[in-house]
Amino acid sequence: MPNFGDLKSDAGVKALNDYLGDKSYIEGFVASQDDVAVFEALGKAPAGKYPHALRWYNHISSFGAEKSKFPGVKKALSNQGPAPAAADDDDDDEVDLFGSDEEEEDEEAARVREERLAAYAAKKSAKPGPIAKSQIMLDCKPWDDETDMKEMENQIRTITMDGLVWGASKLNPLAFGIMKLSILCTIEDAKVSVDDLIEKIQEFEDFVQSVDVAAFNKV
């Protein structure tokens, strides 16, 4: 993980802002525990003069408690010191003697991290979205004023479909002393067709003359 120095200081926040100028996350292409560690070390939203750091901070903050489920292992970064200075040329031989194994370990760790991030991204994208539903008011009109409206409602409520839930009902004046049955229902859009539902209601032809959609709202 990059060392940004003391993230409580302007210099540390500036280093973070510069680093995030062309990146969405601290490491890789999805949020990880590296982001959580830097987020917690930062402690508060950066000033507006650090737009990249502020954008990143607000994005990570939006996850709330979900941050604990980010992949990877969180490392405490409380008040990092300044980034270590580059070694003198005189020490090049010594660094080379011990650096090869560390580089191999870093490559393996990076590979494992990328695999975990990819698996997390795939799992998150596979989650189903919210179920689209609609609430509909249907006006069911009888043939005449002698129609048994209670029995009409009983017949209509016998209709069962996967994704259909009947709601409240009310008798409202239509004309010439004739009442209409206004009945609510909630449907799952992917499972229930309004046209199919109306056809089923109109099959009770001894009671129902016609059916109109009085109101249609997404929920």
Supply the DSSP string of 126-170, one letter for each residue.
Answer: TS--PPPEEEEEEEEEESSTTS-HHHHHHHHHT---TTEEEEEEE
User: Which of 86-95, 130-139, 150-159 is least confident?
Assistant: 86-95
Query: Looking at residue 85, what DSSP letter applies?
Result: P
Q: Which two tokens stand for residue 46?
A: 């950066």
Percentage of the chain exceeding pLDDT 90: 48
Share of the chain above pLDDT 70, in %: 84
Q: What is the pLDDT of residue 212?
A: 95
Tell me the CATH number for domain 133-218.
3.30.70.60
Residue 188's SS3 state is: strand
CA pair distance 23, 18, nearest whole angstrom: 10
Cβ atoms within 10 A of the Cβ of 64, count?
Answer: 8
Q: How far is Cα of residue 145 from the mean position of the Cα atoms in its chain?
A: 51
Q: Model pTM greater than 0.85? A: no
CATH 3.30.70.60 domain extents, the chain: 133-218
How many Cβ atoms sit within 10 Å of the Cβ of residue 195? 9
**208, 148 contact by CB (below 8 A):** no
Indicate whether 109 pLDDT > 70. Answer: yes
**Can you tell me the mean pLDDT for 115-140?**
84
Sheet bearing 164-175, strands edge to edge:
164-175, 178-188, 133-142, 208-218
